[in-house]
Amino acid sequence: MILRVGHLYPEYLNIYADRGNIAVFVRRAAARGHELRVEEVTLGTPLRPGAHDLLYVGGGQDREQAMIAPDLAARREAIRAAVDGGAALLAVCGGYQLLGRGYRGRDGSWLEGAGLFPHETVAGETRMIGDVLLESALPEAPGRTIAGFENHAGRTVLDPGAEALGRVVAGYGNDGSSRLEGCRVGRAFGTYLHGPLLPRNPWLADLLLSWAVAHATRGAPEALAPLADELEAEAHAVAAGRARSRGGRPA
């Protein structure tokens, strides 16, 4: 079948090889006989209701984030409708921040967000950088671990009761103190994990793809046929080992 992906602002939000997450989606969908059609949604491009089974927002530098933030915030209703309608969504770093309520700069300025995720971000004095290892907080993946790389100065604070993507085993996470990382709303995930994220965590890619398939078929999510993921498992093990050797870090 054809799976429709909306890649938001790819020319502005593409740092730390985050575009590689799209490549993983394409390859793993094709391995199950599905075709992934990627549409770029950028400044001046409409986000059509029901047009996508999966949305993706990458990370960017502060300048690029400030450029696209008003446009993204103006799409808040369309993004919420897509997620409420069962589409999958993955947002990384800058995209994760801007899909919250907003970002408070060190100078006190406020960058309005799209309001999908129940959190706010404030600029910190120092950057939080290094390999990260999470214990999955997803009921669909108990006992799984998620490995990636973080590089952010923003401190993202989840609202009480908000669902995290994972609990920090090693690294900083959302804010360096809560031991929580990422956020989940329905079939939408936000995270600070770069690297890119999905080559080291193929099961997470498959979970999002299974939701995209369910949206495309208007059916219930079903697990995808397993693939031979020896290289991916090795990449995960190497990243997890680096994170464990790093250990926890204070904010």
User: Annotated active-site positions, please?
Assistant: 93, 194
The answer to whether 144 and 138 are in contact (CB under 8 A) is yes
Residues forming a β-bridge with 38: 5
For residue 133, which of 241, 208, 16 has the smallest C-alpha distance? 241
Residue 154 DSSP SS3: strand
The answer to whether 56 and 21 are in contact (CB under 8 A) is yes
Which DSSP state fits 202? H
Distance CA 133, CA 191 (A): 12
Distance CA 164, CA 82 (A): 20
